[in-house]
Amino acid sequence: MQIHYHRNFTKAFLKLSLKIQEKVEETIASFQNNPHNPQLDNHPLHGKQKGKRSMAVGGDLRIIFVEENNYETVELINVGTHAQVYE
C-alpha cells in the first residue's frame, strides 16, 4: 500500500498535539497492516463526501481518505474531529 498525504491532511496533522499525532501515526500503521481492522471503523462516506472513506483514530478523531485499486494507493485527505472533517 502506497500512502500519499494531501496538503490539507498535513496542515491539519501539524495542528494536533504531539500525543494525538502519535495516535494518528499508530492508526495509519495499523491501517497499512490491515485496512479492514474493525477497530478502525473504515467506512464509505455519503453526500458531499461521496467517494471518500473515513476511519476512526480514537474518540471523536477521524481520518478522511480516498483509496484506489483495492487499497493499492491511498491518499489521506484530512484529519480532525468529527465536526472538523465533516463540515
What does the pLDDT look like over 22-34, one tens digit per residue? 999 999 999 999 9
Q: Which pTM value belongs to this model? A: 0.91
Which cell numbers in the block locate residue 23?
495516535
Q: Which domains does the chain have, with CATH numbers?
A: 2-85 (3.30.2310.20)
pLDDT at 54: 94
- Name the nearest CA neighbour of 16 among 48, 51, 63: 63
pLDDT at 35: 92
pLDDT at 40: 92
- Residue in the structure block whose three cell numbers are 478522511: 64
Q: How far apart are CA 55 and CA 57, in angstroms?
A: 7
pLDDT, averaged in runs of 10, over the chain (87 residues): 94 94 94 92 91 91 93 93 82
Question: What one-character-per-residue DSSP string does 18-64 give?
Answer: HHHHHHHHHHHHHHHH-TT-GGG--EE--GGGTT-EEEEEETTEEEE
